[in-house]
Chains A and B, each alone.
Chain A
Amino acid sequence: MGFLHCVLSEWPFLRIRLLRTRLGVWLLLLLVVVLRLDGTAAVSDPLAAVLLIAGAGATLCVAYLAGARADRVTLGPALLHPRSPGALTVGRWLAATGGAALPVLAAAVHAGAGVAVAGLVTAATMSAWALALAWSGGNVLVGAWLIWLALTGGQSPEAMLAHPHPGALRFGIAGALEILPGLWRYRGLASLEVGAVVHAVLWLSIGLVIARSRVRRAGEAP
């Protein structure tokens, strides 16, 4: 079968995990909690809320669709049928992005098309990156990434270095915020800022390439 057909065959993972695991509940909780916090804040920032939902939602979806040990063990057997590692990777990435898109679109209903697009692109980038983490180190890395997102949120490197004596730790965190996929940077996606778009596309590609190489290795494992 063709590449596209094999990509689409990964979609049942989303349906099954949404309905038969706690993924659906977690996504709903994420949506409600973030919107509630945004609603009670002194200054409402729908874009930040949507981006946080996109990032955390994509990471959660990857954890439930691909990060568990039992899921990683089945990567090799999946390649015993004529499907390519690339098709499997793209299919699972699209499924995770699709799962994250549900709360993103729900949150962006009243925020405008620009915010929705920023949320969807952020979800796509974050799920590709989380997929690379999941197939490199399992849900331990995915969980660490989720904690990183929760702690740093939409903070920018400049805000991190605003302290009079930043110290090595703050410099390190600021460096990571500058390089890694970051919610602060993807605010620019809402206004189609070139730097944000390039950064998102670059990390999306890096994530997919790493994930694909991990799948290929799983298929060759002795």
Chain B
Amino acid sequence: MDANNAKVEYLLRQGDNALILSQQLSQLCGKGPALEEDMALTNVALDLLGQTRMWLTYAGELEGHGRDEDRLAYLRDSREFRNCLLVEQPNADYAQVMVRQFFFDTWHYFLMRELITSTDRRIAEIAEKSLKEVTYHLRRSGDLVVRLGDGTPLSHAKMQAAVDELWTYAGEMFIYDAVDEAMVAQGVAPRAEPLLDAFLQHVGEVLAEATLAMPSPSAYMQRGGKQGRHTERLGYILAEMQVLQRAYPGADW
């Protein structure tokens, strides 16, 4: 894999993570458990969608095949998506929505903080823009994890179940493959180990405050999303997200 291809892959991973999580949060619009939560979910979805556009636009330009952000988002099939498995986990209940968000935000925050010093200037700029938003996301999801974890017996039980259920998807971002290693070698992306340490420390602190048990860091971690091997669920997400462009190819406003 040449250096340019590796960078395109890396950018698609960033863009697809933000895109799929944004789509999942958007599906909750009008269904939040409270008005404030509903607005927060859609605000976070909007931030992530804005970040998606920056990543995918850059990926399309580097790829050089004339694919813009819309073609990349609407006209790829699930095997071509590069998002991690975590973001395609279902909106099963609000505990799972918030734990998924908290795991994602924690990783996202520490990654963006490193990417602002990337040797790739454009990546550094996108990260700088994203970091402010992501910081706000992480503050909110951490708050919610504590409030619900250290809440009623029922909310506590649901949060613990969500943590246990989603933990196996929280490690994929730190399992580096040839693409990630190529980015590290070029100084584009940070190494996995310091990111993982920061992730485990912050998650540990918040879960402890939330009176939730932290699963084992050495548990088996699911993987494959970054390489395009997804769960069945992604197909349903894409079916809804892409239906208009699939039915009316090239449709525009």
- A and B pair up: no
